[in-house]
Structure 1
Amino acid sequence: METNTISRRNFLRVSGLAGTALCLGFYFPANAKNEQLVSATAEASGFDFNAWIRIDTDGKVTLTDHRAEMGQGSFQSVPQIIAEELEVNLSAINVVFAQGNPTKFGSQITGGSSTIRGSYKRLLKLSATAREMLVTAAANEWKVPVSECYAEAGHVIHKPTGKKLNYGELVSAASQLTPPATVKLKETSQYKLIRKPLQRLDTPMKTNGEAVFGLDKKLPGMLYASVERSPRLRGKIKSFDDTAARKVPGVKQVFKIQMMVFNTTRDGVVVIADSTWAAMQGRKALKVEWDDTGFEHVNTTDIYKAHEDLLKTKEGLSAKKQGEPDAVLAKADKKIDVIYQTPYQAHAAMEPLNCIAHYQQDKIEIWGPIQAPDWVQGDISDKFKMPKEKVIVNMTFLGGGFGRKAFLDYTYEAVAISKQIGGPVQVVWTREDDVKQGPYRAGISYRGQGAIENGEISALKFKMAGQNIDHWSNPARDKANNSTTEGFLKPYYDSIKNISFADVPYEMPLPNMWWRSVYASTNGFAYESFLNEMAVLAGQDQLDLRRKYLKDERCQRLIDRMEEVSGWKARKKGDGFGVAITECFETTVGQIVKVSRHTNGKVKIDKVWAVMDCGWYVNPDIIKAQVEGSVVMALGAATIHEITFKNGLVEQSNFYDYLMPRMSDVPPVEVHIMENTADAGGVGEPGLPPFAPALTDAIFDLTGKRIRKLPFNMNEV
C-alpha cells in the first residue's frame, strides 16, 4: 500500500453493519474531508468502504488478505501481525483473499517483497485500534475506568474483579464508538507472537487438500482449453488443419486466437473440450503451419556477441555518476577491465499457468493463481471495454509465481476464449508452454572497470547491456534502465569518490519480465564479483574491503555477524571461502560460501552462511525458508539451467532439459537474522542475489579460476 498519501485518520474506518460486527479497514483514495466514517456514511458519500478486519458477534475474526499467497508466507505473516496487537489467538483468525479492487485495497501486486514492508505499520495500528475500542466498550459496560481493563486471547478482562467478556459480546457496542485518535503499540520486547517461529496457517490446508489452487476451482458448465501457440513471438498462423483434432472424444470446438504479449500479439489455435485431457489430446492432433517471415530469428550466441560489442563501443545512458571515474581510469596504472554475463532464465514455478474466465454481457469474472489482481482488473476492463466494477478477479493460492503470474497475457487469453465460446472456460498451460513461451529474466552482460591507487579504490565504472523491462511498457528509449544500480549498496557512494553506472540500450523481440529479485539477481553477480576482483588487485581481504567502504553502522554489524558465524577470520588461504553482500528491496543480505574438492576431484559446496538485515520482521521460520529457497533458485541459475535460443526458437521445454537442482546438490544453509527496530525490508527475494558472486569467489579461492559467465558446470571447474 502507498504510504505517502493516507494519514492515520484517513485510513482508519469503523463500520457498524447494523451492530452485527466490528469492521475496520482502509479505503483509497483518502477522504479529502479528513473525517471518520461509518459504512453507511461512506456509502452515501460515494466512498468504497472495505473491511480488512471483521469481528463477528460469535468472536470470530476474519482477515481479508489483499495480496496473493504463493509460498512466501503472507497468509501467515499478516494474521500474525493482526493477532499480536488485537490480542487474539492466531488459530481464531480466518483468512480470506480479497478480490481485485485497487479502490478498496490500494496496490495488490505481490512483488518487490512488499506485502509486509508496505503494510505492517498500518496493520499494527488497525489491530490496536480495534483492541482499544473493544476494551473501551467493556469498560463502559462495567462502568469502570478503561485503565482497569486489558485484552487477552479474544477477551477483555477487568483486572480488579477478574470479570471478562468475549469480543463477540462487545462488537455491537464497540462498533458505535469513534476510533481513538492515537493508540499505543507494543515494544518489540512485549511481543508474544511477532518474531516467533509459529507454524504456518496454510500448511495443514496444503497437505490435506483443503487449499484451493487455480486448477482446483470448478464452475458449473465449465469447459477446458489448451492452446497451440506460435513458437516464435511474432509468428502468424498461415493455415491449420483441425480434422484429426475434432475426432478426439470430448473435443467441442477449434478456433484461432490472438493473445496480447506486451505491445505485440502471439497467434494460437484453441482446442475446447469437456476435459483438460481431451483438450490436450486434440491439440496434439492439430496440424499448424506458421508464417515466420519478416522478423529476426535470434540466437543466444548472437545476443551476447552484440552485448559485448555494445559494451566496448558505446558509453550508454548514464544512470548515476559522481566524480570523474573516466579521468581516474585513464591515468591509473593498477586497474582491471572485465566482462560478466548472466543467462536468460524461465520462472518455472511448480504450478504452470492456468486461469478460469467467464465472460458475460454485463460482467467478466476470473479465478486463478494471480499475483496482481488489481492490474488484471484494469487490463481486462480496458481491453474488453467493461466497467472496472464489472470485472471481478478472484485469487486462489499460487503454486509459485516469481513474477510470472503478475503478467497479464494468460488472464487476457482466458477471457478472450470465454467470450468466443459464450461460457466459462479453464485454460491450462503445459510445462512446455510455460518454458517455451516466456516471458523470461533477460540475459545481461556487464563491463566493469576499476582502479586502485595507494591501496584504495579510486574509481568504479559499470555498464550493462541487456533487455530493459521498462521498454515493453514505455516506448521511450532516452533514459537508462531504472534498475541499473539495483543491488549495489548505497554506502559505497559515500566512501568511493568516483563511480558511474550506465545502461547501454539493447533491443530484442524476446518477452522479458520480472524474475525473483529482478535485476539485483544479475547486477549482484557482476558488481559483487567485480569488488572481489578489486580486493585481489588491492591485496586485501574481500570482507575487509567491504568493511572499509560500507561504513554505516548496520553494514558494520552485518559484517561482524558474517565473520562470527562463518569463522571467516580463522580460514586459511585456499580454503575455498567466498563472500558477497547485496541490497534488494530495502534489505541487505551477506552470504559466505565454503567449497572444497570432493574425493572424486570435483568441487562441491560445503555450506552457505546467510546473514539478513531486513529490519522489523514477523516470523523467523518464514524468513529462513525464503532465504533457503532463494539459495536453491540462485544455485540453479548459476550452475544448472538457462534458456537458450536457436533460430528464434527456445531450446528448452521441460525439466529434462531445463534442469533443476536436486536435493543432493543443495548444501546446508545457515540463516541468521539481524535484530533491530528499523523499518521492515523485503524477505522473499533479497536472499538470492549474493549467492552466485559468493560461490564464484569461493571457487576462485580454492582453484584460482575466475568465473565471469553464468551458468557454469560445477563438475567442470
Structure 2
Amino acid sequence: MQNPPNKFSRRNFIRMSGLTGASLTVGFFMPAAAKGIPELFTAGDAIEQGVELSAWVSIDKNGLVTIMSHRAEMGQGAYQAIPQIVAEELEVELDKVKVAFAPGHQTKWGSQITGGSSTVRGGFKNMLRAGAAARQMLVIAAAAKWNTAFDECYAEKGFVIHRPTGRKFGYGELVENAAKLKPQTGVKLKERKDYKIIGKPLPRLDTPAKLNGTAVFGIDHRLPGLVYAVVERCPTFHGKIKSVDDKAARASAGVKDVIRVQMPVFAGTREGVAVIADNVWNALKARKLLKVEWDETGIDPVDTEQLYDRMRKDLAKPGLTQRQLGDSERVIGKAEKKVEVVYETPYESHSAMEPLNCTAHYTDEKIEVWGPIQGPDWIQTDLADRFKIPADKVIVNMTFLGGGFGRKAFTDYTTEAVTISKAIKAPVQVVWTREDDMTQGPFRPGAVYGCQASIANGRVNAMQIKMAAQNMDHQWAPIPDKGEYNRSTTEGFPEAYFDMIPHYRFADIPTEAAIPVMWWRSVYSSTNAFAFESFWDELAIAAGKDPLEFRKMHIPGDKERYHALLNKLDEVSGWSKRGKNEGWGLAIAECFASIVGEVVKVSKNPSGGVKIDKVYTVMDCGWYVNPDIIRQQVEGSIIMGLGAAAVHATNFKAGRAVETNFHQYRMPRISDTPEIEVHIMENEEKPGGVGEPSLPPFAPALCNAIFDLTGTRVRKLPFDLKKLG
C-alpha cells in the first residue's frame, strides 16, 4: 500500500481513469444538496453527461484498485474500513488496494464530516453497491470475451474465473471492456455469512506508512516558495490588540514579515500577531520578541470556581425542556422515597497528539489548503463564504490527522491560514504550538447536573434531570435564540429507559460564559452519561436492587438488543458471581446508534487509594467491518475517558486557560492503564458508531465501582484515585 501522492486530485483521477479508457472507474453522482439516492456511473459516462462523479473505486490495467475515501483518517480507521467494505463486494485482496483522500465538496461527495461516528453507518450501503457493481461489470466483460454465459463465471481475488474450464482473466485485462458497460444498481449483495473480508481482523492499510515515515500529515506538506508562520494570540478569549512593538521580531533571523490577523471563533473574532519566517524555528524565536498589549475591556475574567458557582445557581432556574412525559415535578414532590443529587464534570482540552496546522495558498484564481482537516466540505463552504469566491475555486485537501476528536472539524485555523496567505501573497504553513493548541480552545464544556427521581415499588416512577452548561449552538449567532433548548440534553441516555419511566423531564439551562466550547469525543454524551449512569446506580442502591438487574427492570421485555447486551456483560465480567468485598461498577450508554456496556473492577491500592484492576466492555454496534479496529477504538476511548475522569481538566483564571502543556494537563500513562477486555455483539442490526460510544460509560462505571468498594460516592470529576480511601 502506498500513501496517496500530494498532487492526487479528483480531476486528475477522473482524467486518468475515464478519459483514457485504461481503467474501470465506478462511482456516484450525488443529487443536488446531497439529497436522494445517488446514481451509479462510470467515469466515461459521467464526463459525457456532464456530471461530477464521486469516484469510489477505480481499477487500472495492472489490476491495482484505487478507492477514494471521502472521510478523514485520524486514527479511527476510515482508511481501513472503506476499502475493506468495497473490497468485499469487489472480490479483491487488500494488498491490491490503495486509498486516495477526496477533496472537500459536499454536493459531490455527500457529507464528509468525520464526526458522530458516522463514516461506516452513513455510507456502507453505497460502498457495497459500488464494489458489487464493478465486480458484475468485470464478470460480464469476461463472459463476453469467452462467449459464455454470465452465470458460468465468478470473481475471486482479483480474477474472473470460468467455472467449467478454470480459465481466468485478471481484472486488469478486463477493465477496458468493462468500462464500456453501464453499472447496474440492482446487483444482489452478499449475505454476512458469505463475507471473506468484512468482519475479519485484517491489518490496517495505513500502518506501514505510519511506521516507515512516508505517511503525509499536515505539517509534512511542502509547496514551492512556502513560508512558515506562528501567531501570538490573546490569552483571554476574544481580546483585542491595543498595541504591538514588533521591531525586535522583525530584526530576528529569517523573519520575512509581521502582520496582524483576525481569526473567526463562532460569531466572534480572535485577534493575533503573525510572525512569518523562512522556517518554523525562526518564526517561534521571533514571536518571543513581540511586545503585544491586549485590550481585554468588557471580557468576563471568569475563574473555574466562578463558572461552577454560576452553573450551580442556574440549576434553580426552570430550564428549557427537550423531552418530557407526564408530570415528574408533581410526582417527585409527593413521593415518600426520592433521591436528589448533583454531578459535575470538567472542561477539557482536545489535546490531540498532533497540534493544529494548516498550509494555505491564496491566489486571484483560487484558494487551496492542505492539512489535518476533519470536515473538508465544511471548510470549503466556509472559505468560499468568507472570501467571496465560488466553492469550486476552493480546493480543500485532507492529509492524515494525528487525532482530531472534533477540534479539527472547526473552521478557525484554516481561515487564519488563508488570511495570512492572502496578506503576504505567498503560500504559508501556519503551525500551532502545543501551548497554542491547549490554551486557545474551543474546549469541551463543563457541566453541572441536577438529578431528581422518586421510587415506588422498587422502580423509578418519575425522573427529572437538568443540565447547566454552555450550549455550543448558541455561539454561532451574534444574538442567539436563548430560548432554544440544547438538543443533546438526553444524548447518551439509553432509549429503552424512556419506555419504562411514567414521568420524566430532561431540560437544560444555557450557562452564560465567554469561553469557546465545542464538540469533544462523544460530544455531550461524555458528560451526560456520568450523571445519568451514576444516578441510576444511586437509584438502584436506594431501591435495594442489584445495579444490573435494576437496569434490566427498566428495559421493556421486547427490547431484546438491550437485554442481550446486559446478559453478555454479566457473562463476560462475572458480575453475578462477584465477591462481596470487591469493587464492581457498571454503566451503559447509547449514542451514535450503538449501545455499550462496561463493568469496571477496582481494589484497594497497597500504596494508598484505589487502583483499577480491569475493564470489561461489550460493544453493540450492529453490522461491523473490522473487529480489531473496534477493539482499538474501545481501548482508546476508555483511556481518554480515564484521563477526563481522574487525571486532567482545563481550568481558568481571570478568563485564561491555566493548563498550557502536558506538565500540567497530564495524560494517562501505561502504568495508569488497566487491562481492557472487549467483546463485540453479533446481530443483524444496522451499523452504529465505533469511535465514540465507548467513552461515556467508563467514568460512571468507575465511580460506581469506587462506591461499591469504599462507600464513597464520587459526584465531581476529575478526582484523584490515590486520595480515595
Contact 2:299 2:514 in 1 (8 A): no
How far does the alpha carbon of each residue in 1:72-112 deviate from its partner, in whole angstroms, 9 at most, with x for none?
A: 01111111111111001101001011111112211100000
SS in 1 for 2:231: strand
1:541 corresponding residue in structure 2: 546
| 94, 113, 118: which one aligns with 2:98 | 94
Equivalent residues of 1:228, 1:269 under 8 A apart: yes
The match for 1:350 is 353
Distance 2:39 2:337 in 1: 65
Cα distance in 1 for partners of 2:40, 2:566 equals: 47
- Output the CA distance in 2 between the equivalents of 1:318 and 1:654: 38
- CA contact 2:469–2:509 (8 Å) conserved in 1: yes
TM-superposition CA deviations, 1:489-522 (whole Å, max 9, x none): 1111111111110111212111101000000000
Sort the Cα spacing of 1:36 and 1:567 in 2 relative to 1 into closer, same or farther, 3 A: closer
Instruction: Name the structure 2 match of 1:478.
Output: 483
CA deviations 1:556-587 (Å, max 9, x no partner) are 11011101111101113341000000011000
- Aligned partner of 1:579 in structure 2 is 586
**1:262, CA displacement in angstroms?**
0.7
Q: 1:469 aligns with which of 472, 481, 499?
A: 472
The 5-angstrom pairing of residues 229-248 of structure 1 reads 229-248=233-252
Give the conservation status (yes or no) of the 8 Å contact 2:26–2:183.
Answer: no
Distance 1:340 1:702 in 2: 20
Work out the CA distance in 1 between the residues paired with 2:40 and 2:106.
21
Distance 1:20 1:544 in 2: 62
Offset of residue 50 of structure 1: 2.9
Q: Distance in 2 between matches of 1:563 and 1:399?
A: 36
1:338-385 deviation per Cα after TM superposition (whole angstroms, max 9, x unaligned):
110100000000000000000001111101000001111111111111
Deviation, structure 1 residue 179? 2.0
Matches within 5 A, 1:105-120: 105-120=109-124
Q: In the alignment, which of 477, 487, 494 is matched to residue 489 of structure 1? A: 494
Q: Is the 8 A contact 2:249 2:289 kept in 1?
A: yes
Alignment correspondent of 1:332? 335
Equivalent residue, structure 2, for 1:716: 723
Deviations 1:84-142 (A, max 9, x none): 11001101001011111112211100000000110111111110111111111111111
Shift in Å, 1:34: 9.4
Three-state SS of the structure 2 residue aligned to 1:52 is strand
Task: Supply the AA of the counterpart residue of 2:166.
Answer: G
Match status 1:694 vs 2:697: no
TM-score under structure 1 length normalisation: 0.96
Q: SS of the residue aligned with 1:689?
A: coil
- Tell me the amino acid that sits aligned with residue 314 of structure 2: L
Q: Distance in 2 between matches of 1:18 and 1:712?
A: 63
| Match of residue 409 from structure 1 | 412
Q: 1:328, 1:121 → 2: CA distance?
A: 46
Q: CA separation in 1, counterparts of 2:36 and 2:522?
A: 36
Aligned pairs for 1:422-433 within 5 A: 422-433=425-436
State the one-letter code of the partner of 2:429. Q
2:521 matched to which residue of 1? 516
Q: Closer, same or farther in 2 for the Cα pair 1:35/1:631, shift >3 Å?
A: closer
Relative distance call for 1:394 and 1:573 in structure 2 (3 A) is same
1:27 to 2:29 alignment: yes
Q: Residues of 2 paired with 1:216 and 1:34: CA distance? A: 35
Distance 2:681 2:272 in 1: 50
Q: For the residues of structure 2 that align with 1:181 and 1:212, how far apart are their CA atoms?
A: 36
**3-state SS of the aligned residue for 2:55?**
coil
Contact 1:329 / 1:335 at 8 angstroms: preserved in 2? yes
1:460 aligns with 2:467: no
Structure 2 residue aligned with 1:679, among 675, 678, 686?
686
Residue 601 of structure 1 deviates from its aligned partner by 2.9
- Asked whether the 8 Å contact 2:373–2:409 carries over to 1, the reply is yes
Correspondence for 1:64 among 68, 71, 82: 68
SS at match of 1:485: coil
Q: Following the alignment from structure 2 to structure 1, what is the Cα–Cα distance between the partners of residues 238 and 115?
A: 28
| Structure 1 contact 344–644 (Cα < 8 Å) conserved | yes
User: Would the aligned equivalents of 1:16 and 1:172 in 2 still touch at CA under 8 Å?
Assistant: no
Deviation at 1:476, TM superposition (A): 1.7
Distance of aligned partners of 1:36 and 1:229 in 2 relative to their CA distance in 1, 3 Å threshold: closer
Cα contact 1:48–1:103 (8 A) shared by 2: no
1:670 aligns with 677
CA distance in 2, matches of 1:76, 1:270: 38
Q: Give the structure 2 partner of residue 168 of structure 1.
A: 172
The residue type paired with residue 463 of structure 1 is K
Give the Cα–Cα distance (whole angstroms) in 2 for the partners of residues 477 and 106 of structure 1: 31
Q: State the partner residue of 1:442.
A: 445
* CA apart distance, 1:181: 4.1
SS at match of 1:51: strand
State the Cα deviation string for residues 224-269 of structure 1 (Å, max 9, x = none).
0010000111211111111211222111111111111111111111
Is the CA contact (8 Å cut-off) linking 2:40 and 2:185 kept in structure 1? no
Separation of aligned partners in 1, 2:39 and 2:280: 53
User: Which of 502, 508, 512 is the equivalent residue of 1:507?
Assistant: 512
Separation of aligned partners in 2, 1:631 and 1:508: 29
User: Aligned-pair distance for 1:330?
Assistant: 1.1
SS of 1:592's partner is strand
Is 2:533 the partner of 1:528?
Answer: yes
Structure 1 residue runs of 5 or longer lacking an equivalent are 1-14
SS in 1 for 2:54: coil
Instruction: Determine if the alignment matches structure 1 residue 594 to structure 2 residue 597.
Output: no
The one-letter amino acid paired with 2:514 is P
Asked if residue 129 in structure 1 is aligned to residue 133 in structure 2, the reply is: yes
Please say which of residues 347-356 and 496-505 is displaced more in the overlay: 496-505
Q: 2:205 aligns to what?
A: 201
* CA distance in structure 2 between the partners assigned to 1:33 and 1:317 by the alignment: 37
Partner Cα distance (2:618, 2:474) in 1: 35
Whole-angstrom distance in 2 between the partners of 1:625 and 1:67: 19
Cα offset, 1:40, TM superposition: 5.3
Deviates more, 1:356-365 or 1:502-511: 502-511
| Cα distance in 2 between the residues matched to 1:650 and 1:697 | 31
Helix, strand or coil at the partner of 1:26 = strand
Give me the identity figure in percent: 57
- 1:80 equivalent among 71, 77, 84: 84
Aligned Cα RMSD in Å? 1.4
Find the aligned partners of 1:672 and 1:602 in 2 and give their Cα distance: 29
Structure 1 letter corresponding to 2:399 = T
Aligned length: 702
The 2-side partners of 1:400 and 1:383 are apart by: 27
Name the CA distance, whole Å, in 2 between partners of 1:674 and 1:118.
Answer: 20
Q: CA deviation at 1:45?
A: 4.7
**1:155 positional shift:** 0.6
2: distance between equivalents of 1:148 and 1:630? 48
In the TM superposition, residue 37 of structure 1 has moved relative to its aligned partner by 5.3
Q: Give the Cα separation in 2 of the matches to 1:138 and 1:416.
A: 54
Further displaced range: 42-51 or 27-36? 27-36
CA offsets per residue over residues 631-685 of structure 1, 9 Å max, x none?
Answer: 0000000001111111111111000001110110000000000001210000000
1:324 CA displacement: 1.4
Q: Which residue of 1 aligns with 2:649?
A: 642
Q: Partners of 1:16 and 1:412 in 2: how far apart? A: 34
Q: CA deviation at 1:47?
A: 2.4
Give the Å deviation of 1:143.
1.1
> 2: distance between equivalents of 1:624 and 1:245?
49
Q: Given that residues 233 and 265 in structure 1 are in contact (C-alpha distance below 8 angstroms), is that contact kept between their aligned partners in structure 2? A: no
Residue among 245, 252, 255 paired with 2:259: 255
Cα distance in 1, alignment partners of residues 424 and 176 from structure 2: 48
Instruction: State the partner residue of 2:568.
Output: 561
CA contact (8 A) 1:300 1:646 kept: yes
Once the two structures are superposed, residues 280-334 of structure 1 have per-residue CA deviations (whole angstroms, 9 ceiling, x without a partner) of: 00001111111111221111111111111111x2111110001211111011010
Q: Which consecutive residues of structure 2, in runs of 5 or more, have no partner in the other structure?
A: 1-16
